[in-house]
Amino acid sequence: MLHLTDNAKAAITGITSQSGLPDTGGVRITLTPDADQVELSLCPEPESSDEVIEEDGARVFVEEAASPLLEAHTLDASTGPDGIGFALRKAS
Q: What is the CATH number of the domain that holds 66?
A: 2.60.300.12
Rounded to the nearest 5 degrees, what angle is found at the Cα of 47, between the Cα atoms of 72 and 40?
Answer: 55
Q: What is the pLDDT of residue 78?
A: 94
Q: Could you read off the pLDDT of 27-58 as tens digits, one per residue?
A: 999 999 888 889 999 999 999 999 999 999 99
Average pLDDT over residues 48-75: 94
Q: Where are the alpha helices (DSSP H) in the chain?
A: 6-18, 67-70
pLDDT score of 15 more than 80: yes
How confident is the prediction for the chain on average, in pLDDT? 93
CA dihedral 82, 11, 48, 63 (to 10 degrees): 50
Domain with 77, as residue range(s), is 3-90
Domain count, the chain: 1
